[in-house]
């Protein structure tokens, strides 16, 4: 079999056999297929698409390009994936709560991409926390604590890393087929029994329209189930930041307050509990998503989720008893500035992508992959849609490393918010389920 033969077949819109897909992914992994050939195949897939059996074959081949974790535990292994947003720190609360409910959660997460924040960057703001442990430590912490939130190791789906790098420079990132295989190959390599997906839609999401979000959700759900993992997706709103904080240390502090039941953002609570309930249902721990939600709520209210979070942080090298004094451990920006509306009114629209880019410009995200991150900077006290903003209630508080940075952030943030005399109807956070 020759790579060019497989490329030509897909170029001409024909269906690839599972053997042809596996051959191509093997060549991608061992680099016997050139970057030019990989780029040509990616463009052929982008233009002509793949049928469902081709998507499943590609996802499984990429999953199997490296280590697939095997577990010997007394409960189901489950995980969650979000397509990315602003102020989306759900994983920090969700994983320990699921562990408190009897699940095991080896959560392989990513770093920030574009205007969206990354779970690993948030954990990197916790001193000592190891986001890149070896597999032995991942197994140990997952078994003993019930959850471990880490980054992709070189052993996990190596084909995806090379494929994504080539797609990034050949204009083929947007392919739903390849997005599906990229996301699921890493998740399914964790040896999951069940997976719940959070597909974002709105001004701060990669899927800006309901049609695009629905298409991606259906592709992910059908392929994951086709590959043997019980999976469903919730479509959730990203027309405003999910939490009232955006920025790494600030989102960790927000999550800590949530886990301690001291200060909880309502939209964040709704999404976290709904995803957890769905996961407990998919894994068979509970008979319905509604019962799963009730169990999640109990895990938070009892303090069991907070206890698991503290144990996970310590087991992966972070401070012992982190939640007892979390503010002492997190970096603080030297400049803080409250931003008030020019006249009193109600927030009617938010350019959430603009809010995320404000954090990036402050230094809390990356323009290039190698850029360092300032974990202290970002935004909190973010007003949501429908909120009244006036001389008492700000649009947001900026945390910056200099007054000049705060000036630039203020200008961008004001552009991202629309303030009007009357509030508009509220919009639901949970927009639908695919499963």
pLDDT in tens, 197-233: 999 999 999 888 999 999 999 999 999 999 999 999 9
Question: Where do the structural domains in the chain lie, given as residue ranges?
Answer: 3-63, 78-326, 333-420
Residue 169 banded pLDDT, cuts 50, 70, 90 = confident
Determine what percent of the chain is predicted with pLDDT higher than 90. 89
Contact partners, residue 235, CB within 8 Å, separation at least 6: 199, 200, 201, 210, 213, 214, 217, 430, 431, 432, 433, 434
pLDDT in tens, 267-293: 999 999 999 999 999 999 999 999 999
pLDDT in tens, 393-423: 999 999 999 999 999 999 999 999 999 999 9
Q: Is residue 151 pLDDT above 80, yes or no?
A: yes
Q: What's the pLDDT score for residue 371?
A: 78
Q: Is residue 370 pLDDT above 90, yes or no?
A: no
What CATH number does the domain located at 78-326 have?
3.40.1030.10
Tell me if domain 3-63 and domain 333-420 are identical in fold.
no
Q: Is residue 173 pLDDT above 90, yes or no?
A: no
What's the CA gap between 261 and 385, in Å, rounded?
A: 23
Q: What is 3-63's CATH superfamily?
A: Transferase, Pyrimidine Nucleoside Phosphorylase; Chain C (1.20.970.10)
Q: What's the pLDDT score for residue 372?
A: 86
Domain 333-420, architecture per CATH: Alpha-Beta Complex (3.90)
The model's pTM is: 0.93
Least confident of 83-92, 105-114, 263-272: 105-114
Beta-ladder partners of 195: 79, 231
What's the CA gap between 348 and 354, in Å, rounded?
A: 15
The rounded Cα 96 to chain-centroid distance in angstroms is 16
Active site amino acids: 79-82, 119, 167, 182, 186-187
Average pLDDT, stretch 96-124?
90
pLDDT in tens, 321-364: 999 999 999 999 999 999 999 999 999 999 999 999 999 999 99
Question: Mean pLDDT over all residues of the chain?
Answer: 95
Structure tokens given for 308: 């698991």
Q: Is residue 168 pLDDT above 80, yes or no?
A: no
Q: What's the pLDDT score for residue 118?
A: 86
Q: What's the pLDDT score for residue 369?
A: 66
Task: For 148, list phi and psi in degrees, rounded to 5.
Answer: -150, 120
């Amino acid at each position: 079999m020759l790579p060019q033969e497989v490329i030509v077949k897909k170029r001409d819109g024909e269906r690839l056999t599972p053997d042809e897909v596996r051959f191509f992914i093997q060549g991608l992994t061992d680099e016997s297929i050139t970057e030019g050939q990989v780029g040509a195949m990616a463009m052929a897939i982008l233009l002509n698409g793949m049928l469902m059996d081709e998507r499943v074959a590609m996802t499984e081949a990429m999953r199997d390009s490296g280590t697939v974790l095997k577990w010997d535990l007394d409960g189901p292994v489950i995980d969650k994936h979000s397509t990315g947003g602003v102020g989306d720190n759900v994983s920090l609360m969700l994983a320990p709560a699921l562990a408190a409910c009897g699940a095991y959660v080896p959560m392989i997460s990513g770093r920030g991409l574009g205007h969206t924040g990354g779970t690993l960057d948030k954990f990197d703001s916790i001193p000592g926390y190891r986001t890149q442990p070896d597999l032995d430590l991942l197994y140990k912490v997952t078994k003993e604590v019930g959850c471990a939130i880490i980054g992709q190791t070189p052993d996990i789906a190596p084909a995806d890393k090379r494929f994504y790098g080539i797609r990034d420079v050949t204009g083929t990132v947007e392919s739903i087929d390849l997005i599906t295989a990229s996301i699921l190959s890493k998740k399914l390599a964790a040896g999951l029994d069940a997976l719940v997906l959070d597909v974002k839609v709105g001004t701060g999401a990669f899927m800006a329209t309901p049609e695009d979000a629905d298409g991606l959700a259906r592709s992910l759900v059908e392929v994951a189930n086709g590959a043997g993992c019980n999976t469903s997706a919730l479509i959730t709103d990203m027309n405003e930041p999910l939490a009232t904080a955006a920025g790494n240390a600030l989102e960790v502090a927000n999550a800590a307050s949530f886990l301690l039941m001291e200060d909880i953002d309502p939209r964040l609570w709704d999404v976290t509990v709904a995803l957890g309930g769905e996961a407990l249902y998919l894994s068979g721990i509970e008979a319905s998503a509604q019962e799963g939600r009730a169990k999640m709520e109990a895990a938070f209210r009892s303090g069991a989720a907070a206890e698991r979070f503290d144990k996970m942080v310590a087991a992966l090298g972070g401070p012992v008893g982190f939640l007892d004094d979390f503010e002492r451990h997190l970096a603080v920006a030297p400049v803080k500035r409250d931003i008030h509306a020019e006249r009193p009114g109600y927030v009617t629209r938010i350019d959430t992508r603009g809010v995320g880019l404000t954090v990036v410009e402050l230094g809390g995200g990356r323009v290039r992959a190698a850029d360092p991150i300032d974990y202290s900077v970002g935004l909190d006290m973010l007003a949501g849609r429908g909120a009244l903003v006036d001389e008492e209630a700000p649009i947001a508080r900026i945390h910056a490393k200099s007054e000049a940075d705060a000036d630039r952030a203020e200008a961008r943030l004001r552009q991202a918010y629309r303030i009007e005399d009357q509030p508009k109807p509220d919009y639901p956070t949970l927009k639908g389920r695919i499963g």
